Structure 1
Amino acid sequence: MKSFLINEIKGYVAEKGNNYFDFLDGNAFREPIIGFASVKDPMFYSFKEIIKESHLTPTEAYELFFDGKTIDNGTVISIVLPLSYEIIESNKERKMPSKKWILMGCFAKDFISDLSNYIAHILKEKGYNVVDPSSQEFFKIVIDDNAYSNWSQKHIAYTCGLGTFCLNGEFITEKGRAILLLSFVTNLVVEPDIIPYENRTANCLHFHDEKCEDCIKRCPVNALSEDGIDKLKCFDMSYGKKAKKHVKSLGIETEKAYGCGLCLVGVPCESENPVKQ
């Protein structure tokens, strides 16, 4: 069943990603990476301390969606969608994000929703329950003195063995950090993947001898430093008044348009794990 799911997901992305985005010359994504973890993994419970007490465990997300129906055993599935080289190359300006990058942000939500529905459909056909926590009403993004959600895709992906964190809190996979993430909780039981990394920042050059700080230099609003990320500055750059004005200047007429991503490209980790190169 594990191999079946991996092949189905890769096939869907290869086919639909090639014709879903008409503003691109080719596929929006490179081949995805898929990871699996047990809903019982104790790391999921640690996020209540690392992030916030309100961060959901897989069991809690499952029970919220299925109206209290519990899950004794099951699997968390995390998917990395690496952005295409075309999109990455388009966003290497230094001040504001490219039109292709912003349009990707507009339409990627719809694509991810369709992919999510497809995965739910094939699992239900096999007799399993499944929920995509980030698409539900109980999913929350909170902006106060920080910015966080109650279902962190990056932390879920880490637990599924798909990558590690970096200096600015982003996530570096074997296919870099110019990526999109989604995840599911299901009562399907498969063999969980093992985290192959020594620590939670193993893929970031800054924490190796090279002391890379290229992402810091790429940020136009100085939201990044050796101490990490100022999430409020970063959020304003992506969603604030200046961002909205920039979107209009590009002739994009939609409220869904947003994004920055300048620190994700023009860096050694944009499309690969730089530590292994």
Structure 2
Amino acid sequence: MNLEELTQFIGAWMAQPANNGIEPGSDLPAFGAPLVGCASAADPLFAFLKKDIGPDFYWTPDEPFARTFPEIEAVPEDLCVVAWILPQTEHTRRAHRRAGPLPSIEWSRARYYGERVNNALRRAVVGELERWGIPSCAPSLLPDWSRHLSEKYSFASTWSERHAAHVCGLGTFGLSDGLITPAGKAVRVGSVIVRARFAPTPRTYTHHNEWCLFHAEGKCSACMRRCPVGAITEAGHDKEKCKRYIRTVTAVHVEEEQLGFRVNSCGLCQTKVPCEFKNPTERMGR
């Protein structure tokens, strides 16, 4: 199996309505067509992320692989990271553009049931690779994946899907910390670590926030205006203020008024912004 075949598998799996429903029994898809990218586990960016985010807890790709397959000797050069982008549908994005200060029910469904789709895709990819005799693992599904406090960035985890996708050539970060991809910022992200040497996806950017209009032009403030609690400013994303609003306000709203259970739903900064469904710097020839 090569990256092209794996990409075709991911696309075909997501194209099956039974795999990609916005909620059980719905004919509406959770996501649009996926984007897929790849990077060598030996890419220096992975080592940089560990040092920058949290050297005591953040994983380089070889670490979760070794936890999953302690019997296999593998150096980073033997491994690659395959990441994918699952774009929110126009149906979900259109409803969410009209929402605020509380999330739309469509977004809450995509946040909860859509991540179940994403988890099922992670398992399906690992299973398909196993069928080909290729060991792989999904770091976010490992029992020792956990959340931590980064001295530099506040809330963090042992493995970041967004950062993995960034290394895999799939996008750069915006002022709100969201990943701006060729399909925009209204997305979910997943990844697996594979014992294979797939050809890396070229990174068409040189800076981690190159596709953000605020950083590119110094003018855009759309995500700041969309945030109900001012958690996004020119200084960046206040994770603690953001989390407090979601856990104490929007999650309660989802439980009491929408789905009947708590979901950490918000995502207002991902819609009604220039980077909602595209890379907005393309018009600048970037």
Tell whether the structures are fold-level matches, with TM greater than 0.5: yes
* Amino acid of the structure 2 residue aligned with 1:55: Y
Of stretches 138-147 and 160-169 in structure 1, the one that deviates more from structure 2 is 138-147
Separation in structure 1 between the aligned mates of residue 195 and residue 251 of structure 2, nearest angstrom: 41
Of stretches 84-93 and 14-23 in structure 1, the one that deviates more from structure 2 is 14-23
Relative to structure 1, the CA distance from residue 181 to residue 19 in structure 2 (aligned partners, 3 Å threshold; closer, same or farther) is closer
What's 1:91 paired with?
96
Deviations 1:94-119 (A, max 9, x none): 20001111121121232112111111
1:180 and 2:181 matched = no
Separation in structure 1 between the aligned mates of residue 235 and residue 40 of structure 2, nearest angstrom: 32
What's 1:58 paired with?
61
What's 2:274 paired with?
268
* Amino acid of the structure 2 residue aligned with 1:80: I
Structure 1 counterpart of 2:38, from 36, 50, 63: 36
What's 1:14 paired with?
15
Q: Secondary structure at the match of 1:250?
A: helix
Paired residues for 1:1-277 under 5 Å: 1-16=2-17, 18-19=20-21, 21=23, 26-53=28-55, 54-67=57-70, 69-72=72-75, 73-92=78-97, 93-142=99-148, 146-209=154-217, 211-238=219-246, 240-255=247-262, 257-277=263-283
* Amino acid of the structure 2 residue aligned with 1:222: G
5+ unaligned residues in a row in structure 2: which ranges? none
Matched-pair contact (CA < 8 Å) for 1:237–1:260: no
Matched-pair contact (CA < 8 Å) for 1:166–1:172: yes
Relative to structure 1, the CA distance from residue 66 to residue 163 in structure 2 (aligned partners, 3 Å threshold; closer, same or farther) is same
Separation in structure 2 between the aligned mates of residue 78 and residue 245 of structure 1, nearest angstrom: 32
Matched-pair contact (CA < 8 Å) for 1:23–1:100: no
Separation in structure 1 between the aligned mates of residue 140 and residue 65 of structure 2, nearest angstrom: 12
* Amino acid of the structure 2 residue aligned with 1:260: C
Q: How far did residue 85 of structure 1 move?
A: 0.8
Q: TM-score, normalised by structure 2?
A: 0.91
Of stretches 37-46 and 191-200 in structure 1, the one that deviates more from structure 2 is 191-200
Separation in structure 2 between the aligned mates of residue 52 and residue 177 of structure 1, nearest angstrom: 25
Separation in structure 1 between the aligned mates of residue 54 and residue 71 of structure 2, nearest angstrom: 22
Q: How far did residue 152 of structure 1 move?
A: 1.0
Separation in structure 1 between the aligned mates of residue 63 and residue 217 of structure 2, nearest angstrom: 41
Relative to structure 1, the CA distance from residue 23 to residue 149 in structure 2 (aligned partners, 3 Å threshold; closer, same or farther) is same
Q: TM-score, normalised by structure 1?
A: 0.93
Separation in structure 1 between the aligned mates of residue 41 and residue 229 of structure 2, nearest angstrom: 39
RMSD of aligned C-alpha atoms?
1.8
Separation in structure 1 between the aligned mates of residue 133 and residue 63 of structure 2, nearest angstrom: 21
Relative to structure 1, the CA distance from residue 83 to residue 251 in structure 2 (aligned partners, 3 Å threshold; closer, same or farther) is closer
Separation in structure 1 between the aligned mates of residue 73 and residue 38 of structure 2, nearest angstrom: 20
* Amino acid of the structure 1 residue aligned with 2:84: I
Percent of residue pairs bearing the same amino acid type: 28
* Amino acid of the structure 2 residue aligned with 1:231: K
Q: How far did residue 2 of structure 1 move?
A: 1.4
How many equivalent residue pairs? 275
Q: How far did residue 179 of structure 1 move?
A: 0.4
Deviations 1:27-72 (A, max 9, x none): 2211111001011111101112221111100011111122363313
* Amino acid of the structure 1 residue aligned with 2:61: P
Q: How far did residue 19 of structure 1 move?
A: 4.0
Of stretches 244-253 and 19-28 in structure 1, the one that deviates more from structure 2 is 19-28
Q: Secondary structure at the match of 1:208?
A: helix
Q: Secondary structure at the match of 1:220?
A: coil
Matched-pair contact (CA < 8 Å) for 1:153–1:183: yes
Of stretches 52-61 and 242-251 in structure 1, the one that deviates more from structure 2 is 242-251
Deviations 1:201-239 (A, max 9, x none): 11111122352010001000110101111101111222x
Separation in structure 1 between the aligned mates of residue 96 and residue 148 of structure 2, nearest angstrom: 27
